[in-house]
Structure 1
Amino acid sequence: MRWSVFTASTPDWTPEEAVAQLAAQGWDGIEWRVTDQEPAQPPGFWAGNRATVPLTGLEGELPRIAAITRDAGLALSGLGAYAPASDQADVERVLAAAATLGAGRVRVTMPQLGSGDYRELMDRTRRDMAWVAGRAAEHGVTALVELHHRTIVASASAAMRLLDGLPPQQVGVIHDIGNLAIEGFEDPLAGFQLLGPYLAHVHVKNVAWRVTGTRVDGGPRWSAEWAPLREGQADLEAYLGALRRFGYDGWVTVEDFSTASPLAERTRDNLAYLRELDRRVRAEQA
């Protein structure tokens, strides 16, 4: 497997700082966050993130991003864009950007629950993804759908309902164990087997459920909070083991939104932890 970091989780670093830090730590690649965002101080994951490539003026940013990534010796594991599948103009732009950069894959986003009747959202988005698949073929890239809580594709089963029958060379799935710990959890190996050739990419983060209040009926109110990879409820060793048993040997991209340790320490430890887990998995499966 190859290990990369999604820059949504590195808000303190400029793009130049991000590639320098990650290369020095031994990561194989980087996945750039691509979106317009609100300013914020201090920088945050979702606003003011300094390692984000703006969608506005994206095309002009591509030579710089390509150069600093290449010069640092990092590969591009993909683009983490936020263009809705229904927004044909922006989807076209991010597909073209992925092709120009040689990234190979780019995420498009899904409708959120509550934005309409689920059945209608699914049917409409399937039509959108058929169009996306055609345009991805023209650009020679793959458009990715992320398994994400509170969207119409929270699980592998839902993703297959959306994509089944579309060409897996052009549309694929990002499996994300952290998101599934919040909603949509299915046995990972069964999920990989269900997705089959649609399993195109993997994101890793971790989550802890904690009591954060009291319901009206007096019972505990539970909330999911991002946790360090070593401390969350997802068993990442078992997860990597399932990936290996399935035969996955592609990118594993970390997006750690915990803040218990400083960013450089966090990214360095995450790589060491995942490599150690993977060594144990490979030894056990040998």
Structure 2
Amino acid sequence: MKFSVFTASTPEWTPEEAAQTLAAQGWDGIEWRVTDQADSAEPGFWAGNRATWPMAGLEDSLPEIARITGQASLEFSGLGGYARCDNHGDVERILAATAALGARQVRVNVLPLGTSTMGGQDPSGIPYPQLFDSTREHYEWIAERAAHHGVKALVELHHGTITSSASAARRLLDGLDPWHVGVIHDLGNLIIEGWEDPLPALQLLGPYLAHVHVKNARWVRQDTKDESGAAVWAHEWAPLAEGQGSVLAYFRALAAAGYDDWVTVEDFSTELPLAERTAGNLDYLRRTAALAGLVVHNPATAS
């Protein structure tokens, strides 16, 4: 098992700073965030993130991405793309970029739920069956294009989308070539929506389990009540060892399912300074993986 960091969670660092700092801390790889984002006076996870590569002109950035990653002796755990499955032009570009970099796999976003307000958007109101059928058609095309480029397109389990659970993602991809489409299982997102007991969920994904993201979340009771007088709860991101998801239990499920590949961290908690947060996360992940019986890559002993 190898550990990497998704640069959505390192907004204060430039690409050079992110790569060099993570390498010095002992991380095995990096997962670059690739998207056009809004400007911000202060760096943030979703706007003004300094460790993000823009989609605009991405092809011209590929040599610099390769140089920065290679000089830090980091591997690509994949690319953190934001191209949506119905934008075939951007999907084609991000698949080609993944192949050119040798990054193997890239996230391609599925359609949001008709009730979703993610990204500040208005709900579309489109019924789930229609969204599901449309996404399946897009992913049939994506599977063919990923095969053409020799890479894998990844569906993330994410709240507010048609694939919040492992069951939904397996149904979406079933019958497509698992060499070229797969699923990102994500502990933190599942705390918010789509929770299924990890081991059977991982077993259900079978050959489509391609990648793992680890973050954590918790539900917090609010001071207000709804119109009926009932309690109101809201979710927030939490440090890995402080959220409602047990990373130890999750790693034990990964071990039981035979998963032995990348685990990418995207910690959106802010209790600790960024460098302290990433270093502490790596130490925690290594110790927890050892407790779970997972074999952790050790750069010092690698040939």
TM-score scaled by structure 1?
A: 0.98
Structure 1 residue 161: deviation in Å? 1.2
Correspondence for 1:220 among 231, 242, 245: 231
Q: Secondary structure at the match of 1:169?
A: coil
Structure 1 residue 209: deviation in Å? 0.5
Structure 1 residue 214: deviation in Å? 1.7
* Larger mean Cα displacement after TM superposition, 264-273 or 208-217: 208-217
**Partners in 2 of 1:124 and 1:112 — Cα distance?**
11
**Partners in 2 of 1:111 and 1:135 — Cα distance?**
18
CA distances 1:236-257 after superposition (whole Å, capped 9, x unpaired): 0000010011110000000000
Q: Which runs of 5+ in 1 are unaligned?
A: none
Corresponding residue for 1:103?
Answer: 103
Correspondence for 1:229 among 213, 217, 240: 240
**Partners in 2 of 1:25 and 1:71 — Cα distance?**
15
* Structure 2 counterpart of 1:118, one-letter code: Y
Alignment pair present for 1:76 and 2:87: no
**Partners in 1 of 2:2 and 2:220 — Cα distance?**
32
Structure 1 residue 231: deviation in Å? 0.3
* Structure 2 counterpart of 1:257, one-letter code: F
**Partners in 2 of 1:232 and 1:41 — Cα distance?**
30
* Larger mean Cα displacement after TM superposition, 11-20 or 112-121: 112-121
Q: Secondary structure at the match of 1:40?
A: coil
CA distances 1:184-242 after superposition (whole Å, capped 9, x unpaired): 00011101110000000000000010012321222211001000001000000000010
Structure 1 residue 160: deviation in Å? 1.1
Q: Which runs of 5+ in 2 are unaligned?
A: 115-123, 295-303
Give percent identity, aligned residues only. 63
Correspondence for 1:143 among 153, 156, 169: 153
**Partners in 1 of 2:293 and 2:166 — Cα distance?**
25
**Partners in 1 of 2:113 and 2:7 — Cα distance?**
26
Corresponding residue for 1:47?
Answer: 47
Structure 1 residue 125: deviation in Å? 0.6
Alignment pair present for 1:120 and 2:130: yes
* Structure 1 counterpart of 2:23, one-letter code: A
**Partners in 2 of 1:273 and 1:216 — Cα distance?**
42
The structure 1 segments of at least 4 consecutive aligned residues displaced by more than 4 Å after TM superposition are none
* Structure 2 counterpart of 1:106, one-letter code: V
Q: Secondary structure at the match of 2:235?
A: strand
**Partners in 1 of 2:227 and 2:238 — Cα distance?**
27
**Partners in 2 of 1:279 and 1:215 — Cα distance?**
44
CA distances 1:153-182 after superposition (whole Å, capped 9, x unpaired): 000000011100000001000000100000
Alignment pair present for 1:200 and 2:232: no
**Partners in 2 of 1:214 and 1:67 — Cα distance?**
53
Q: Secondary structure at the match of 1:18?
A: helix
**Partners in 1 of 2:98 and 2:227 — Cα distance?**
48
**Partners in 2 of 1:228 and 1:216 — Cα distance?**
32
Structure 1 residue 113: deviation in Å? 1.0
Corresponding residue for 1:16?
Answer: 16
**Partners in 2 of 1:205 and 1:215 — Cα distance?**
29
Q: Secondary structure at the match of 2:268?
A: coil
Corresponding residue for 1:188?
Answer: 198
Corresponding residue for 1:245?
Answer: 256
Corresponding residue for 2:300?
Answer: none
Alignment pair present for 1:133 and 2:125: no
Q: Secondary structure at the match of 1:149?
A: coil
Q: Secondary structure at the match of 1:282?
A: coil
CA distances 1:95-122 after superposition (whole Å, capped 9, x unpaired): 0000000000000001111131100110
Alignment pair present for 1:177 and 2:187: yes
Structure 1 residue 262: deviation in Å? 0.3
TM-score scaled by structure 2?
A: 0.92
Correspondence for 1:254 among 265, 268, 271: 265
